[in-house]
Amino acid sequence: MKIFYSIPFFVLLGILFHAANADVYISDKEFAGYFDNDGNYAVYGSVKNTESQPVIAKVQVTVINGNATFSESRILPVIYSLNDMPFKFIFPQITSGNPVLQKPIVSFISTNSHPLDIAINYDKTLVKYPDGHLTGFITNTGNDTVHNIDIYALVHDKKNNYLDEVENTWTIPSLSPGNKTEFVMYPDPMVAKKVYYYSCFIPGTDSSIELSTQLKGKPFYFSVLSIVYFTNQKFDETGNSLYFDAANPWQIPYYANFMFPENSSNGNFEVLIDGTKVNALTSMDNDTKNWHVAFNVGYGQHKVVISGFNQDYTPNNDEYFYLDAKSALTAWAGFSTFTISDSKLLEVLGIHGTYVPSWVKTSVSYMIYNNVPVDSIVNEIKYLNHVGIVR
């Protein structure tokens, strides 16, 4: 999970729109597509930032296949000055034919974001294996703990041709100052045998933001995925409506995707922007069981109201987070930005009880940093329950 915080409104003062001659682009040599191992058409590439400031870039990829045209867009993690950011799009609608890639469109804004203090260890621990996969280590060189770290890279063949964009196989939940941890990357099996080397290692973090506000005297946590800034969030007195100040720095409408706890609503959401009802898409995530409320926000500053929350709902932090065994162990042992109780951990693991000794957290650290299987830790806790230590 992510750090819970609110973005102060004055942060907008640090955002500058790009000039007409700004140089953030995708090289033709670093943009291509292929049919992946699942039979879907995959498009990969890398955005170069030759500006003097970090930027947030939006990439739009369009593919023509026969008489059909498919287009997808995405906001990438922050791209720091004189750096690249790899990306990959999957088009499951295209499984055959002769797809023709169109020239990608890149738009961006400058930002005053600071680079992550995460360094790739370029030493003997960075190893490429005969089957094409790679292992390596990263180190936190800063003074603050960094959460939800992903590593991005491009892979090449012997002739220096780009083959694919890859990411680490699991998101690293947190890394404290001075510590290091391993990451693993696997290329698509369709190109794995051609992989000769990796380049453009870039650390990044999830672009979704966790927010919170008070509801009935308790913190109400929710998240939003958007380039639009939402601030000053608060419920009305009834608990039915959630109010925001919103600012869209892009000179085009852009979406916002909010995620709310399952029990906070029956799904009858309504969205007002500056007092006018707008079309909003409401759905429930199959995995997390969270409500998704998505809508577009126009350029400029706005007042946004999301209504439809259950007035008899009281926040319960545990119910917001979708927990499988790994995420529950990670949170319980203090390797996430939220924590859960002993009883909640045991509930997720299917054990009736309220107590787990704190020294079990050492075993969980081996799962995080030494790739010990989750099942091994779960079986250890079940054994401790059998002998009466976990109870």
82 and 101 housed in the same domain: yes
Least confident range from 77-91, 221-235, 314-328, 372-386: namely: 314-328
Q: Is 97 inside any structural domain?
A: yes
Q: What CA–CA distance (Å, rounded) separates 331 from 367?
A: 13
Q: Is 317 inside any structural domain?
A: no
CA 272 to chain centre: 27
**190 pLDDT higher than 80:** yes
330 and 239 housed in the same domain: no
Q: What CA–CA distance (Å, rounded) separates 321 from 221?
A: 9
Cβ contacts of 358 within 8 Å, gap of 6 or more? none
pLDDT at 174: 78
With beta carbons less than 8 A apart as the criterion, state whether 170 and 367 touch. no
CATH at residue 106: 2.60.40.10
Q: Is 314 inside any structural domain?
A: no
Domain boundary among 279, 309, 339: 309
SS3 330: helix
Q: Is 318 inside any structural domain?
A: no
Instruction: Tell me the pLDDT tens digit for each residue of 316-355.
Output: 765 555 567 887 888 788 776 567 889 989 988 999 999 9
Q: What CA–CA distance (Å, rounded) separates 120 from 201?
A: 7
pLDDT at 22: 52
Task: Give first-to-last CA distance, the chain, whole Å.
Answer: 28
102 and 45 housed in the same domain: yes
Whole-model pTM: value is 0.50
Structure tokens at 324: 């499988």
Cβ contacts of 370 within 8 Å, gap of 6 or more? none
81 and 123 housed in the same domain: no
131 and 103 housed in the same domain: no
Q: What CA–CA distance (Å, rounded) separates 148 from 230?
A: 21
Q: What CA–CA distance (Å, rounded) separates 22 from 50?
A: 8
Nearest one of 69, 132, 60, 58 to 89, comparing CA atoms: 60
Q: Is 4 inside any structural domain?
A: no
pLDDT at 318: 57
302 and 336 housed in the same domain: no
With beta carbons less than 8 A apart as the criterion, state whether 49 and 82 touch. yes
CATH at residue 141: 2.60.40
Instruction: Tell me the pLDDT tens digit for each residue of 270-311.
Output: 999 999 999 999 988 765 678 989 899 988 899 999 999 999
Q: Is 391 inside any structural domain?
A: no
Residue numbers of the domain that contains 84: 9-110
**384 pLDDT higher than 90:** yes
Domain boundary among 186, 204, 222: 204
**101 pLDDT higher than 90:** yes
With beta carbons less than 8 A apart as the criterion, state whether 391 and 346 touch. no
Least confident range from 172-186, 196-210, 284-298, 374-388: namely: 196-210
Q: Is 192 inside any structural domain?
A: yes
Domain boundary among 309, 336, 358: 309
Q: How many domains does the chain have?
A: 4
129 and 105 housed in the same domain: no
Give the residue carrying structure tokens 């960094």: 146
Structure tokens at 142: 């800063």
Q: Is 1 inside any structural domain?
A: no
